[in-house]
A and B are shown apart, each in its own frame.
Chain A
Amino acid sequence: MASLGQFIRERREALRRTDPSYSLRRVAERVGLEPSYLSKIERDLVPPPSEAALVRLAGELRVETDVLLAMAGKVSSDLKEVIRKRPVLFGQLIRELKDLPDHAILRLVREVRDGDW
């Protein structure tokens, strides 16, 4: 299982094979990080960067934001906000669904309620 740094580097290098604008320097520039800092991130020499930086990196490298955040040991703050607003409801829901296989959680169906008329 790749570390955050390895994941970022492998993805960037894969894109660079067909597009030279994915060099370390150019990507660092576009996401607003110092190239030396991005290099350290890719070599796992520093702790993961901020959520904002990770969101920009995910966009640049065209990977799922939530996946990159998870690899960095973080959860997207919008998800945290959803749970914080109704902690019992969502806490229960997530715990109940946590062991279901992928295909069983494909979609939550919300039905149109029919009442009395």
Chain B
Amino acid sequence: MIELMHDALIFSFPGVHAEAVMRVELQRTLRIPDDGRDYPLPPGLGRFPLRHVDDFAARVPERWLRHGGVMLPMYQSEALWLRFVSVYDYPFVLKIGTGKINAVTGDAWSDGVCRDPQDYVVVPAQPWLDGYAVEKGVIRQFVAMPLGSGYSVEEQITGAAEHGGIQLVAHPMKAGAWERLKRKVYHLAESGVAYAAVAAPAAAYDMGLAPGGRMRQEIYEDPYRFEDWDFSHRSRCFVHIANSLVWRAITGENPPTVPPTAKEYTDAGLPWFEYYAEDLAALEGAEKLAGLKSVAQLGEQKGDVPLPENEPVTPERVIALRRDLATHEVRQGDF
């Protein structure tokens, strides 16, 4: 079952276990420069507003109603990250697609789950996902571009601009396996700085996600046994991405204001983040995704300037978050 509460998706499986509850948040953030350098983790700037498509049935495309699910607004070239919180540390398998292309493997979307190569993330081992797995330890940031403009991962891989949005499928761990596991509990302290923002630009309805700048982030290998997952229980959700410029026409609400640029944020002395979980193995990147052009690269090829304000930034203040091996708690270090 999935509920929408306070701009977050709450996945629960009451038929499996009362503690099988996971929250997925779609967080606003800075767009990191798409310049070939590797950046640390940008902050979270708060959740995107999230609404049921059914609540605006008269104003959304018919296709969205067929999909069901929810919607959020993004500006062209705005970035997003996904945050995963398992309320009781209960483990989940979570598959993430953009435009029905798997964000971990670059393969076409399927509802099934593949262990090898792993096409999912494990929550709470994976606290967040900022983009596409291009190399081991490197992702390319999720950046919104109008569907049909050719930049999205979907369009680069399939040649068609059919789906857009974000797709999510979750499976819980089997109740029995969870009970056995419960003795070892991993605590994860939250990061993300709340910060207010300002300022905006062109309008297709649908947005798709495209690969932006490079960021140091690992996607962790499933540390559990495959047979411990309960594939007989599943929850799916289609998250539509509406162009912020049409959000008011659809919902009557104003979209959030444009986030600060990476330069404005860094010049203000605000922190970036690095995360270390040394006890977990990281997946290799997907060749299919590594082979795609980033928004800046494709823009150059087309003679466009899709990313205004893309100058390099040197984050000086970086807060280290580490999953502590002894106590399994995340502690902060400064460097």
Give A contacts to B, CB under 8 Å: 109-117
Q: How far is the CA of A113 from the CA of B3 in the complex (A)?
A: 9
Q: Are A112 and B9 in contact (CB under 8 A)?
A: yes
**B68 at the A/B interface (Cβ < 8 Å)?**
yes
Q: How far is the CA of A111 from the CA of B2 in the complex (A)?
A: 5
Q: Are B4 and A115 in contact (CB under 8 A)?
A: no
Contacts known (A117-B67, A117-B100, A117-B238); A112 close to B3, Cβ less than 8 A: yes
Q: How far is the CA of A60 from the CA of B27 in the complex (A)?
A: 39
B interface SS class: strand
Chain A residues, CB < 8 A from B67: 115-117
B 1-50 contacts with A by CB, 8 A: 1-4, 9
Q: Are A115 and B1 in contact (CB under 8 A)?
A: no
24 chain-A/chain-B pairs, Cβ below 8 angstroms: A109-B1, A110-B3, A110-B4, A110-B52, A111-B1, A112-B3, A112-B4, A112-B52, A112-B69, A112-B70, A112-B237, A113-B52, A113-B69, A114-B2, A114-B69, A114-B235, A114-B236, A114-B238, A115-B66, A115-B69, A115-B238, A116-B66, A116-B68, A117-B67
Q: How far is the CA of A47 from the CA of B52 in the complex (A)?
A: 45
Q: Are A115 and B65 in contact (CB under 8 A)?
A: yes
Q: Are B3 and A114 in contact (CB under 8 A)?
A: no
**B54 and chain A: residue at smallest CB distance:** A113
A106 → chain B, closest Cβ, in Å? 14
Q: Are B4 and A113 in contact (CB under 8 A)?
A: no
A99 → chain B, closest Cβ, in Å? 24
Q: How far is the CA of A112 from the CA of B69 in the complex (A)?
A: 6
**B50 and chain A: residue at smallest CB distance:** A112
Chain B residues, CB < 8 A from A109: 1, 3
Chain B 121-137, CB-CB to A under 8 Å as 1, else 0, gives 00000000000000000
**A107 and chain B: residue at smallest CB distance:** B3
Chain B 290-317, CB-CB to A under 8 Å as 1, else 0, gives 0000000000000000000000000000
A27 → chain B, closest Cβ, in Å? 36
Q: How far is the CA of A116 from the CA of B167 in the complex (A)?
A: 12
With A110-B3, A117-B100 given, can you name 11 additional A-B contacts, CB distance below 8 Å? A110-B52, A111-B2, A112-B4, A112-B69, A112-B237, A113-B69, A114-B2, A114-B235, A114-B238, A115-B68, A116-B66
B128 → chain A, closest Cβ, in Å? 21
Chain B residues, CB < 8 A from A117: 66-68, 100, 163, 167, 238
**A109 and chain B: residue at smallest CB distance:** B3
Chain B residues, CB < 8 A from A110: 3-4, 52
Q: Are A112 and B2 in contact (CB under 8 A)?
A: yes
Q: How far is the CA of A115 from the CA of B63 in the complex (A)?
A: 10
**B63 and chain A: residue at smallest CB distance:** A117
Q: How far is the CA of A109 from the CA of B5 in the complex (A)?
A: 10
Q: How far is the CA of A31 from the CA of B3 in the complex (A)?
A: 40
Chain A residues, CB < 8 A from B3: 109-112
Q: How far is the CA of A68 from the CA of B152 in the complex (A)?
A: 57
Q: How far is the CA of A112 from the CA of B2 in the complex (A)?
A: 5
Q: How far is the CA of A66 from the CA of B58 in the complex (A)?
A: 34
**A112 and chain B: residue at smallest CB distance:** B2
B8 → chain A, closest Cβ, in Å? 11
Chain B residues, CB < 8 A from A112: 2-4, 9, 52, 68-70, 237
**A113 and chain B: residue at smallest CB distance:** B68
Q: How far is the CA of A112 from the CA of B236 in the complex (A)?
A: 9
A69 → chain B, closest Cβ, in Å? 28
Q: Lowest 6 A-B CB distances belong to which pairs?
A: A115-B68, A113-B68, A112-B2, A117-B67, A115-B67, A114-B236
Q: Are B237 and A114 in contact (CB under 8 A)?
A: yes
B 224-270 contacts with A by CB, 8 A: 235-238
Chain B residues, CB < 8 A from A116: 66-68
